[in-house]
Structure formats: structure tokens, C-alpha cells
Amino acid sequence: MAETCACIIARIEDLARERGLSLQVMLVGSAARSTWLSGDHDLDIFLGVPLGDDLGFALEIARLIAPDHEEKYAEHAYVHARMDGFEVDLVPCYLVEDAARLLSAVDRTPFHTKYVGSRIIGREDDVLLLKQFMKGVNVYGSELKVGGFSGYLAELLVLCYGSFAGVLQAASAWRPGQRLDLEGQGIERHGEPLIVVDPVDPGRNVAAALTLDRMLLFAGAARSFLAEPKLDFFFPPPRAPLSDEELIALLNARGTMPILLEFAAPDVVEDVLYPQLRKAEGSIKALIERSGFSMLRSDVSTYRDRAVLLFEMQVWQLSIARARIGPPAWEAEHLARFLAAHPRPLFGPYIANGKVVVEEARRYTSARDLLAAKIANLSLGKHLAASIRDGHNIYAGYELLGIKDEGFRIFLAQYFRAKFPIG
């Protein structure tokens, strides 16, 4: 890897020199500080441009370096390519003097590399162990799909607690609101489950992307591991896709009704897609429960070019008759309006607990019909709404057997069989 890096950096420097550009090329991230885990985000090479210069020239050089590249976009454009078997990001950034005065988030990365670089020496293995542990218990990655720990956060934890074991011991006792401040910069922040003050930018919480449940899963796994250390924490057995027979057996044992909404995944990065999937999951859950049905659990996923939302129902069928509770019986005007709005009840109006009630027929007695009828009216994320409008399928119960994709079956295996190493 070191060779690949050196080679790429040398070629970038050559091209810059040819063009008379002032460019500071930096290997950043875990690869720069020997805390790089195989399968990690791989190589991050930053092309530092003096403040005031145009990032476009740097981007141009990045394109030349990797002819067979893909252009991506975070806060600004960068180049992603596969080189010598590594995934390489070539990221133009500004050379900022002070990390508190950044132009964009990527400009912060060289400061992280600098801060961790010298301090981590001798504890690289602890970082690697911690990252692999986090990966094994499924809390590694600060992308929105995961909501877990970033590599930089893992490094700071090792710096803070001294070792892999030190991190686990400390994390065992974490509660929501836990606060770490390596440099004692004392910035107050509230409302996030874990607050880790960024040593190079004290206004920023390094753990801002970490969700409460991932934080607590890590803490619980740390407790379990210390009580009974096993290799499985680092390398859990891979999850095999669910077979038809297994799915049938699970549905029968659980006696629930799974309802699946399936559609083409919009062509956007996961950090855009997943928040929209989660938002849709919440909107649909609210719709369904507001109507009297009851959900046990739900999840979202993507596989191949498809996206799915899975809702597992405890109550998916309701009576036709339902009660509409109206105003207090003595409010004559409200009552007249209420009765005018419900002219042909199945039963009533009658009085119960001082209020006028009518019983009338429900429009949708099954959760599936409700979802099918209302999906078009829900407020969904922009890309998701368009994709669902273009076409979607709803599967319920054993109809899930119709989807044979391995990726979908692995998602089902995870949904129905995941083990969480807590307690």
C-alpha cells in the first residue's frame, strides 16, 4: 500500500509542477497513520490548494491521474478510482491555517491527520483492534446508513483511554450524554448521546453522527466482551441468505404479518438515500398506527438497484365498525356539526363517558390496503417520492417468498436473526 501511495503522490506532484501549480499532496486518514483496516474506506489522498486559488485545477489533475475514475460530490467534487486494487479518493481541499476557520468539512481532514499522527504512535494496534471490534458488532462507520463510529472517533477514543481495553472498560459505563474533551476545551453541548469535542475544532462534536442505539450497542458489547471475551465479537459468522423454508418457518413461528414496500432505489449516494428511507419508514409507521393497526418492528434496506421498507405487523386487520368520538353531549353546536359529518352511522349516535359517539364503517380494514391507498399522499423525501411514484410493489406475508435476490434474503436474515452482543 505504501508503494501505491508514494507512486500516486509523486505523479500528482509531477503534474502540478508541470502546470506551475502550488499543490500540497497529503495522504490522510487511517492509511496515513498505520491505523488502516483492510476493507476500510482505503486511501484518502488530499490535494491541498492555497486559500484563494481555484480547486478546479486540483480536480483536473486528479482526473488525469485516474483516467478510469468516477466523479463524486460531498461538499465539493472529488475523484474516486480503483488503483492497484485499492479504493482511492483524490480530494481537492484548501490549505487552511486554523481548523476553526474551514471552508468545508474536507479541509478539516489534514488537521485530524496531523493531530492523531504523532500521538497515536505505539498504539496503532489498539486502534486496529477497536475498529475491528466496532465492525464486528456493527457500529463502525459514520455514514448515515450506519450512524456509528468514524475511524477518527475510534482513534480519539484510544488516545483518550490509552488502549483498546481502556476504551472498552470506559465504554462499559457510558450513559447518554457522555462527554469527552481531550484538550479540555470545555465547549458545552447537549442533546447528543455522545459528545467528543474535536481537538482541532472545539465547536464540533466528532460523534455527531453516532445514534443513541449504536452508542449503547457498543457499550453493551464492550460489557459483554469484558465479561466473556470471544473472537466472534471481531469476526461474527457471516449471515447466510434466508431460504424459502427458513422464511416460512420464521413467519409461522412469529405469527406476524410482514408488509414490504419495494421500489427502484433512487440514484443518489447512501448518505442522501438512507435519511429518506428512514423518514419514509417513520411516516408510514405513523400512518398505519394512527389508523389502529399495530407494528412490531420495521427496517429499511437496499439491494441490487432496489430499495425496501419492511413493516412487521402485530395487528394488520381491524373490524369494519369503528367508533368516532364526538364532542361532549352538551355542546349543542359542535354536536350538530359532528352529526352532520357522520350522517349514516352503523350505530348511534349514543353517549359514552359524556361524549357523543357514532360507529361507522372503516375505509380500510387491512394495513396493506391502507398503505396501498395512501402511499401516494405521504410526505416523503424528494428522491424517494419520485421513485415510488414511478412504480412500487407491496408484498405481504408469504408473498415475500417471491423475491429471490440474495441481497434481499441477507437483509431478511439480518432482520429476523441478527444477534446483538449485549448482556
Nearer to a copy of itself, 66 or 250 (CB): 250
Select from 109-117, 211-219, 229-237, 382-390 the region that touches a copy of itself (CB under 8 A).
211-219
341 binds a copy of itself (CB under 8 A): no
**Site membership for a copy of itself, residue 292 (CB under 8 A):** yes
If the CB atoms of residues 51 and 418 are measured against a copy of itself, the closer one turns out to be 418
| Residue 348 lies near a copy of itself (rule: CB under 8 A) | yes
- Select the residue interacting with a copy of itself from 184, 191, 402, 423 (CB under 8 A): 423
Environment class of residue 115 by beta-carbon count within 10 Å: exposed (0-12), middle (13-18) or buried (19+)? buried
- Residues 360-399 within binding reach of a copy of itself (CB under 8 A): 361, 365
- Measured from the CB atom, the residue of 121 and 325 that comes closer to a copy of itself is 325
Which residue, 231 or 332, has its beta carbon nearer to a copy of itself?
332
Distance CA 117, CA 272 (A): 31
Q: Looking at 22, 104, 185, 319, which residue binds a copy of itself (CB under 8 A)?
A: 319
CB of 340 to a copy of itself, least distance (A): 9
Q: Which is nearer to a copy of itself, 191 or 354 (CB)?
A: 354
Q: CA 362, 367, 369: angle at the middle one, nearest 5?
A: 75
- What DSSP string describes 214-269? HHHHHHHHHHHHHHS--GGGTSPPP-PPPPHHHHHHHHHHHT-EEEEEEEEPPSS-
Cβ–Cβ under 8 Å, residues 321 and 336: no
Asked if 319 contacts 357 with a C-beta cutoff of 8 angstroms, the reply is: no
Q: Determine, following the binding rule CB under 8 A, whether residue 315 of this chain makes contact with a copy of itself.
A: yes
Q: Which positions from 108 through 167 interact with a copy of itself, judged by CB under 8 A? A: none
Measured CA to CA, the distance from residue 134 to residue 154 in angstroms comes to: 9
Rounded (10°) CA dihedral 61, 65, 67, 68: -120
Q: Which of 350, 382, 393, 406 binds a copy of itself (CB under 8 A)?
A: 350
First to last CA, the chain: 39
C-alpha triplet 280, 282, 288: angle, nearest 5°: 100
Q: Residues in contact with a copy of itself, total (CB under 8 A)?
A: 57
Site string for a copy of itself, 226-265 (x = CB under 8 A): ---------------------------xxxxx--------
**Contact string (CB under 8 A) for a copy of itself, positions 177-206, x = contact:** ------------------------------
Q: Retrieve residue 333's grid coordinates.
A: 353546536
Those residues whose C-beta lies under 8 Å from the C-beta of residue 32, and which sit 6 or more positions away, are 26, 44, 113, 117
- Please count the other Cβ atoms lying within 10 Å of the Cβ belonging to residue 12: 20
User: What span, in angstroms and rounded, lies between the C-alpha atoms of 223 and 229?
Assistant: 10
- Given a contact cutoff of 8 angstroms between Cβ atoms, the answer to whether 143 and 149 are in contact is no
CB of 349 to a copy of itself, least distance (A): 6
Q: Which of 104, 185, 243, 294 binds a copy of itself (CB under 8 A)?
A: 294
Q: Which residues bind a copy of itself (CB under 8 A)?
A: 172-176, 212-213, 216-217, 219-220, 223, 253-257, 292, 294, 296-297, 312-315, 317-323, 329-330, 332, 335-336, 339, 346-354, 356, 359, 361, 365, 416-418, 420, 422-423
